[in-house]
Amino acid sequence: MSLEQFKDRNVGTQNYVKLDLDHSPTTGWCQFKQVVKRTFKPELFVGLWVTFREMINALFRGKMHTTQYPFEKLPISPRYRAIHDMLRLMESGNYRCIGCGLCEKICISDCISMETKYDENQRKEVSEYTINFGRCIFCGYCAEVCPELAIVHGGRYETASEQRASFSLFEDMLTPIDQLNLQQEYAGFGAISPNADENIKSTPLAY
Residues that bind other proteins (CB under 8 A): 35, 44, 47-48, 50-52, 54-55, 57-59, 63-66, 68, 98-102, 104-105, 113-119, 122-125, 128, 130, 147-148, 201, 203-207
Q: How far is the CB of 203 from other proteins (least distance, A)?
A: 4
Q: Between residues 12 and 28, which has the closer beta carbon with respect to other proteins?
A: 28
Minimum distance of other proteins from residue 145's CB (angstroms):
11
Q: Please say which residue, 6 or 45, places its beta carbon nearer to other proteins.
A: 45
Q: Shortest gap between Cβ of 127 and other proteins (angstroms)?
A: 9
Using H for helix, E for strand and C for coil, what is the string for the chain? Answer: CCCHHHHCCCCCCCCCCCCCCCCCCCCHHHHHHHHHHHHHCCHHHHHHHHHHHHHHHHHHCCCCCCCCCCCCCCCCCCCCCCEEEECECCCCCCECCCCCCHHHHHCCCCCEEEEEEECCCCCEEEEEEEECCCCCCCCCHHHHHCCCCCEEEEEECCCCCCCCHHHHEHHHHECCHHHHHHCCCCCCCCCCCCCHHHHCCCCCCCC
Cβ of residue 71: shortest distance to other proteins, in angstroms? Answer: 10
